[in-house]
């Protein structure tokens, strides 16, 4: 396993559409393992493959404080949404910045696991926000593109 470099805002790869994963092999498993290590090292809650320079439909995430809810999503698709929530959002690819974005409160996702089996996931609150945020990355969309009307990016307290 290895820590991968996280691509930042001006990197054109972040604006490209990722391709479906068709081969479940050691190359994919290495990517998943590296992304997990990179996610935990960075302190983030989600990471999409384009953020580490790979244009594949792969996401890893863990929104739990104790890091006990780790998920690997391959070829994920949102199947339903309900409600809404408005709140601050940040991104490892936009370090030190935040912005206000409205997302669904509940999101259901269909995705393959590392064995290629289709699984269903449901997220509420932060998990729903993370599903939407990371899946946007797979289509070249950054959260700053979805800022609520009248909102702008601002620096976080840590910067």
Secondary structure string (H, E, C) spanning the chain: CCCCCCCCCCCHHHHCCCECCCCCCHHHHHHHHHHHHHHHHHCCCEEEHHHHCCCECEEEECCCCCCCCCEEEEEEEEEEEECCEEEEEECCCCCCEEEEEEECCEEEEEEECCCCCEEEEEEECHHHHHHHHHHHHCCCCCHHHHECCCCCCEECCCC
Give residue limits of the domains in the chain. 12-155
Return the pLDDT at 1.
81
Query: pLDDT of 16-70, one tens digit each?
Result: 999 999 999 999 999 999 999 999 999 999 999 999 999 999 999 999 999 999 9
Class of domain 12-155: alpha beta
Query: Global pTM?
Result: 0.95
Q: Which of 107-111, 132-136, 147-151 has the lowest mean pLDDT?
A: 147-151
Among the options 89, 115, 134, 151, which is catalytic? Answer: 134
Q: Say whether 77 is catalytic.
A: no
């Amino acid at each position: 396993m290895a820590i991968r470099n996280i691509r930042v805002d001006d990197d054109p790869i972040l604006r490209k559409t990722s391709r479906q994963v068709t081969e479940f092999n050691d190359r994919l498993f290495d990517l998943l393992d590296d992304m997990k290590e990179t996610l935990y090292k960075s302190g983030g809650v989600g990471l999409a493959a384009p953020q580490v320079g790979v244009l594949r439909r792969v996401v890893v995430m863990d929104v739990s404080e104790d890091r006990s809810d780790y998920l690997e999503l391959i070829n994920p698709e949102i199947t339903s949404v309900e409600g809404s929530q408005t709140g601050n959002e940040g991104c490892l690819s936009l370090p030190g910045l935040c912005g206000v974005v409205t997302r669904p409160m509940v999101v259901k996702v269909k995705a393959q696991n590392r064995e290629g089996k289709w699984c269903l996931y449901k997220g509420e609150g932060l998990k729903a926000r993370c599903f939407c945020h990371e899946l946007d990355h797979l289509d070249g969309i950054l959260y700053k593109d979805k800022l609520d009307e009248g909102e702008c990016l601002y620096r976080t307290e840590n910067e």
